[in-house]
Amino acid sequence: MASVFIKSPLAILAENAGGGIVVREGRILECVAAGKRPAAAIDEIFDASRHVMLPGLVNTHHHFYQTLTRAHPAAINKDLFHWLRALYPVWQRLTPEAHRLATRLALVELMMSGVTTTSDHHYLFPAGLGDAMDVQVEEARALGIRLTVTRGSMNLSEKDGGLPPDSVVQDEDTILADCERVLGRYHQRGEGAMVQVALAPCSPFSVTRSLMCACGEMAEKHDCRLHTHLGETEDENAYCMANFGMRPLDYLEETGWLSHRTWLAHGIHFSDEEIARMGRHGLGVCHCPASNMVLASGQCRTRDLEAAGVAVGLGVDGSASSDSSNLIENVRHALMINRLTYEASISHLDALRWATKGSARCLGRDDIGEIALGKQADLAFYTLDELRFSGVGDPIAGLVLSGAHRADRVMIGGRWTVIDGMPVGIDVAALRAAHGAAAKTFL
């Protein structure tokens, strides 16, 4: 492969790389200090003088199918449990074709915001959707975006005292058999992996203890990650106390999930002792600022979690609660809501770290999330040409404070996947029309 010198960026979030970087064979071959020339032989040059360069953003929690029910009239202005009760009867109508369109649109939207790696937590399996994981892998491979596909699950329905309707849950044997199948077929290990698999029972109130334990054991067997919702609302704490006689983190420990393999979505309502325990066991938490604000769930204690040794990442969460799939926008949301908790000690660099290196840690990866020698060439490029950026003095701070929402270019593994703000090989207008038509059937 050719050696590409990405030259003279307007600004770059990296150490000693003011002159740019050299990319070859999908990795960062060289970081070039300001005013210096590359030592390596160069085949191509890309002039980045208009661009602010960030490591490719890493999204660690989403629900792609929910792009079909943004701002749904049945669910506006509700807290989590009432929101779920309103939308589960709608989501049970999910079809294979709608699922594919939702996945494609979410991936494109994420990538256009600067995301180079994403996870998705899919736990909804109405009739005909048994190949949901295969569809997501196919769509990610077609776009060239890295994906941690989480084989989600629910096996407690309304008849069992759970929230979801009977039509969207599966029995434990079916779930575990498909987890084994998806792991065997798609889980890649090691540096540069494009597809990895995690096991992801939805939440303590939608799966059995037996399923939680079995997924934990399977993760050990296959060396994969574990993911679930935890600590999102006080209602969840009350549910766990009433049904299990313990708080959610204690339940997690009892089922074998208090492990370095585990990253949690939301992670808001933990005590000081629980945060310290999470740090000792090497857990990660995906902070979902937009969703937490929309559902009034609370404020994640990001700084306390990091101080305890917990990996803190960032996620857009489902597009029916955050109502977008835009991670660079969530960087700004993260900065703003954390200022309310920690005042001005939280900076734009904290929020960017959560969206890059912190998120990579949540996914168990050290080959992405930063611009450094030997790392994967996953990069997001933003311009400051819009009126909102006029007058910006610090280009990297300006991206966050002035509200960047769209990348001009994206590179994944050394390959351009977004050029001039548009995804390569995708007819965005046609995708919007097809997805919009499918979404109307959910109203």
pLDDT digits (tens, 9 = 90+) for 120-171: 999 999 999 999 999 999 999 999 999 999 999 999 999 988 889 999 999 9
pLDDT tens-digit profile of 227-267? 999 999 998 899 899 999 999 999 999 999 999 999 999 99
Average pLDDT over residues 313-334: 96
CA-CA distance, 128 to 124, in Å (whole number)? Answer: 11
| Surface-to-core class of residue 367, CB atoms within 10 Å of its CB (0-12 exposed, 13-18 middle, 19+ buried) | middle
Q: How confident is the model at residue 329 (pLDDT cuts 50, 70, 90)?
A: very high
Average pLDDT over residues 68-90: 95
Percentage, residues of the chain above pLDDT 70: 100
Say what the pLDDT of residue 362 is: 98
Per the CB < 8 A criterion, the answer to whether 153 and 175 are in contact is: yes
Q: Decide whether 4-55+372-423 matches 57-362 in CATH topology.
A: no
pTM: 0.98
Average pLDDT over residues 59-71: 98
pLDDT tens-digit profile of 335-393? 999 999 999 999 999 999 999 999 999 999 999 999 999 999 999 999 999 999 999 99
Say what the pLDDT of residue 356 is: 99
Average pLDDT over residues 325-332: 98
Q: What residues contact residue 105 under an 8 Å CB cut-off, 6+ apart?
A: 67, 325, 431, 432, 435
Concatenating the DSSP letter of every residue in 1-37 gives ---EEEE--SEESSSS-TTEEEEETTEEEEEE-TT--
| Surface-to-core class of residue 49, CB atoms within 10 Å of its CB (0-12 exposed, 13-18 middle, 19+ buried) | exposed
* Alpha-carbon distances of 302 from 265, 295, 369, rounded to whole Å: 13, 18, 18
The token duo for 313 is 């990442």
Could you tell me the end-to-end alpha-carbon distance of the chain, in angstroms, rounded to an integer? Answer: 49
Class of domain 4-55+372-423: mainly beta
Pick the CATH number of 57-362 from 3.20.20.140, 3.40.50.80, 3.20.20.10, 3.90.980.10: 3.20.20.140
Q: Domain limits of the chain?
A: 4-55+372-423, 57-362
